[in-house]
Structure 1
Amino acid sequence: MANYRLPDPKNFEHTIDGKNTHLITLTNRRGMQIALTDYGARLVSALVPDKQGDLTDVVLGFDSIHGYLNAQEKYHGTSVGRFCNRIANGRFTLDGQQYTLEQNNGENCLHGGSGGFHNRVWDRQVSFNKKVDFYYVSSDGEEGFPGELKTNISYELTNDNEIIIQFRAKTDKTTIINLTNHAYFNLNGEGNGDILNHILHIPAVEFLPINAKQIPIGDVLPVQSTPFDFTTPKKIVEGIGHEDEQLKYANGFDHTFVNTQPLSQPAASAFSEQSGIKLDVFTSEPGIHLYTGNFLTNDQGKGGQHYLRHGGFCLETQHYPDSPNHADFPSVVLHPGEVFESQTIYTFSLMK
Structure 2
Amino acid sequence: MRTGISHAPYGQLPSGEQVVQYTLANANGMVVKIIDFGGIVTEIHAPDREGKVADVVLGCDTLDDYRSKSPYFGALIGRYGNRIARGRFELDGETVQLDTNDGRNHLHGGALGFDKVLWKAGFMGDTLVLSYHSHDGEQGYPGNLEATVVYELNDSNELVVRFRAVTDRATPVNLTQHSYFNLAGEGDILAHELTIDADRFVPIDAESIPTGGLAVVDGTPFDFRTARRIGSRIDEVDLQLRNGKGYDHCFVLNKPAGKAMTRAVHVCDPRSGRVLELFTQEPGVQFYSGNFLDGSLSGKGHAWGYRSGFCIEPEHFPDSPNHPDFPNTILRPGEVYETESRFRFSVDKGR
Query: TM-score, normalization: structure 1?
Result: 0.94
Matching of residues 257-336 of structure 1 within 5 Å: 257-261=251-255, 263-336=260-333
> What secondary structure does 2:174 align onto?
coil
Alignment partner, residue 49 of structure 2 = 51
Q: Distance in 1 between matches of 2:31 and 2:11?
A: 20
Amino acid at match of 2:51: G
Return the letter of the residue paired with 1:257: F
1:120 Cα deviation after fit: 0.2
Determine if the alignment matches structure 1 residue 203 to structure 2 residue 201. no
- Residues 9, 18 of structure 2: 8 Å contact kept: no
Q: CA deviation at 1:238?
A: 1.0
Per the alignment, do residues 70 and 174 of structure 1 end up closer, same or farther by CA in structure 2, a change over 3 Å counting?
Answer: closer
Tell me by how many angstroms 1:298 deviates. Answer: 2.1
Q: Distance in 2 between matches of 1:285 and 1:345?
A: 11
CA-to-partner distance for each residue in 1:82-104, whole Å, 9 max, x for gaps?
01100001111100110111221
Contact 2:74 2:179 in 1 (8 A): yes
Residues 43 and 343 of structure 1, relative CA distance in 2, 3 Å threshold: same
RMSD, aligned CA:
1.5
Quote the sequence identity (%). Answer: 42
**Partner Cα distance (2:336, 2:347) in 1:** 36
Aligned length: 341
What's 1:114 paired with?
111
Shift of residue 309 of structure 1?
A: 1.4
Q: Tell me if structure 1 keeps the 8 A contact 2:9–2:19.
A: no
Match of 2:250 in 1: 256
1:213-228 paired onto structure 2 within 5 Å: 213-228=207-222
Matches within 5 A, 1:1-352: 12-71=10-69, 73-128=70-125, 130-189=126-185, 192-261=186-255, 263-352=260-349
In structure 2, the residue matched to 1:3 is none
Q: Measured at CA, do residues 84 and 16 of structure 1 come closer, stay the same or move farther in structure 2, by a change above 3 Å?
A: farther
Contact 1:91/1:100 (8 A) holds in 2: yes
Letter matched to residue 351 of structure 1 = D
In 1, the alpha carbon distance for the partners of 2:262 and 2:172 equals: 27
Assess if the C-alpha contact under 8 Å between 2:45 and 2:56 holds in 1.
Answer: yes
CA deviations on 1:49-97 (whole Å, 9 max, x unpaired) are 11111111111112331231232x3300000000110000111110011
Distance 1:316 1:9 in 2: 26
In the aligned structure 2, how far is the partner of 1:338 from the partner of 1:105? 30
Greater share of strand residues, 1 or 2?
Answer: 2
Contact 2:132–2:148 (CA under 8 A) maintained in structure 1:
yes
Q: Residues of 2 paired with 1:207 and 1:296: CA distance?
A: 23
Instruction: Spell out structure 1 runs of 4+ moving beyond 4 A.
Output: 8-11
**Cα offset for 1:26?**
0.7
CA contact (8 A) 2:289 2:309 kept: yes
- CA 1:264–1:149: 2 relative to 1, 3 Å: closer
2:235 & 2:321 partners in 1: Cα distance? 32
CA contact (8 A) 1:60 1:301 kept: no
